[in-house]
Amino acid sequence: MTVRGRAFIAGAYEHPRREIPDRSVAQVHGEVAAGALADAGLSLSDVDAYFCDSTAGFGPISMVEYLGLRPRYIESTDTGGSSYLVHVGHAASAIAAGRCHVALVTMAGLPRSRSEAPVARSSGSPEAGFESTWGMFAAASYALAAQRHMFEFGTTSAQLAAVKVAASLHAQHNPHAFLRTPVTVDDVLASPIISSPLHRLDCCVVTDGGGAVVIVSPEVARELDRHMVKVLGQAEAVKHTDNGRITLLSTGAVTTGPRAFDEARISPADVDYVSIYDSFTITVIETLEDLGFCEKGAGGRFVQDGALVAPDGALPFNTDGGGLCNNHPSNRGGMTKIIEAVRQLRGEAQRAVQVPDCQIALAHGTGGSIGTRMASATLILGQDDA
Amino acid sequence: MSAPLPTPQPERTPETDAFWAGTADGRLPLPYCPDCDTVIWYPREFCPQCGRRSVTWRTASGRGTVYSYTVVHRTSGPYRDAVPYVLAYVELDEGPRVLSNIVGCPPDDVRIGQPVQVVFCDTGAGSALYRFEPCSPTGMAADRRG
């Protein structure tokens, strides 16, 4: 069964704040649920399917009660930062199967004001004894991938920095962005090394916040007075260490890209805008290669001359400023990737970075770590007539 | 000047107990599947390649090469005061790429492809952390444990 054209994103909402010391995680879920439903022209009582990750209380058991929902379909697949792109795909499948009509996906977290380090989820996992024991953590994991990519393909720190520069040029136009000052390649290279070859400015921000989207059936979509965004394709995969034969040169996008493009019946050349998960600059370079926007190994050269800069670059990306500059709520950047893709397709991005005549957008999420194991998810969205 | 690397106790499970006991004896035991001739990593009681449960143990040579590395300059937790330290994937001669530290040389001297040899750092709790140091010019690591 394909989801192509069987579901629409009717509502999307990103919490406007990046530091929220005065609210609980549940309160932020409640705010973004209300925001996305209002955006769609719906209310909590219309929701018959609910999706969230495992970080809010007892997952959907807590949140369904808190929000006062009566869903007939619930799901809490937790694939880290890519969870919400998985949720949208599963919501579309459930809608296509006739199990629900209005699916609400919410996410929220407060790592900035609560000084929570990115959660090391390995404790109790079978791999636990073999990684953190040696001082492994998120930035180091991505640094291992970056180092090998440089060795294999000649990728440079300046090319990694070009990803951050593009994000910062976009973030200056976003009044809500956490970091709004444009930076140069030299600024990135002059920032302290966190874990070589990654500098501080190769790393995403840590922010409070959240977001939500509402996915509806074609029948509901027809009744709503809102610019509908069609779900064209979605794919997910776990890419892991493969019995100790890990490659650091590719991500799960190698698998999800072709599957999602196939379902959407398009090719990378058809895509007008991309939201690419940007936990670190190397994440973007490897993902662009794996999705087929350039040859494997050519990601550094692809991004170095402004290809990612909206609106005129060859492949405008993360026009909200992405996780590198705008927002990475709960240390999970997948939801904001979906929301900015929806804005682009609706023509509601910031004017300076709106891609003209945006027909097809791709959002890609990464959960876990490209230096060990990850869950990748690709979502392709388009105009109603796409 | 950074502090010596910490030796935190690894999280042990019934499945990995024999592995860690071996490290305490100065060995690097590798699970091996005779059915598909595969060295398994990380240790588990079945072969993730073929699913069979005829796993036996082999002792690793302790030699390998650096597949990738990073010099960590800032972190939190037990390693916070040990920066700069080197985290690396070492490709063992037997095949698996294992996460570890490179010790016994300045962090900036580590290179991809560098030959390395295992050393063991006792945790004082019936296990030792396997780390690697550059092979000496004769191809043998210095006879040193620490």
Q: What's the CA gap between A61 and A98, in Å, rounded?
A: 23
Q: What's the CA gap between B17 and B137, in Å, rounded?
A: 35
Provide the pLDDT for residue A128: 87
Residue B26 within a domain:
yes
> Is the ipTM of this structure higher than 0.85?
yes
Is the separation of the CB atoms in A10 and A216 below 8 Å?
A: yes
Question: Which residues lie across from A314 on neighbouring strands?
Answer: none
Name the residue among A209, A231, A201, A202 with its Cα closest to residue A218.
A231
Distance, in angstroms, between B143 CA and closest chain A CA? 22
Q: Model confidence over A61-110: pLDDT tens digits?
A: 999 999 999 999 999 999 999 999 999 999 999 999 999 999 999 999 99
User: Do residue A194 and residue B88 have CB atoms under 8 angstroms apart?
Assistant: no
Residue with tokens 């492949």: A315
Provide the pLDDT for residue A1: 80
Q: What is the CATH number of the domain that holds B48?
A: 2.40.50.840
Residue B1 within a domain:
no
Structural domains counted in chain B = 1
Distance, in angstroms, between B115 CA and closest chain A CA? 16
Low-confidence ranges of chain A (pLDDT < 70): 115-122
Provide the pLDDT for residue A146: 98
Asked whether residue B38 carries a pLDDT value surpassing 50, the answer given is: yes
State in words which class domain A130-205+233-382 has.
alpha beta
B126 touches A: beta carbon within 8 Å: no
Query: Which residues of A touch chain B, with CB atoms under 8 Å apart?
Result: 117, 123-124, 126-137, 139-140, 143-145, 147-148, 151, 192-198, 241, 243-246, 248, 372
Q: What's the CA gap between A40 and B60, in Å, rounded?
A: 60
The residue extents of the domains of chain A are: 8-114+208-231, 130-205+233-382
Q: What's the CA gap between B142 and B119, in Å, rounded?
A: 9
What's the whole-number average pLDDT of chain B?
Answer: 93
Percent of chain B clearing pLDDT 90 (strictly above): 90
User: Do residue B87 and residue A144 have CB atoms under 8 angstroms apart?
Assistant: yes
Residue B7 within a domain:
no
Asked whether residue B34 carries a pLDDT value surpassing 50, the answer given is: yes
Is A8-114+208-231 in CATH node 3.40.47.10?
yes
Q: Model confidence over B112-146: pLDDT tens digits?
A: 999 999 999 999 999 999 999 999 765 454 444 43
Provide the pLDDT for residue B136: 79
Q: How far is CA A324 from the centre of its chain?
A: 12
Name the pTM for this structure.
0.96
Question: Which residues lie across from A215 on neighbouring strands?
Answer: A9, A103
Q: What domain range is B87 assigned to?
A: 17-134
Residue B12 within a domain:
no
Region B1-26: what's the mean pLDDT? 91
Residue B67 within a domain:
yes
Distance, in angstroms, between B108 CA and closest chain A CA? 10
Provide the pLDDT for residue B145: 42
B76 touches A: beta carbon within 8 Å: yes
Asked whether residue B88 carries a pLDDT value surpassing 50, the answer given is: yes
Q: Model confidence over A109-134: pLDDT tens digits?
A: 999 998 655 545 567 899 989 999 99
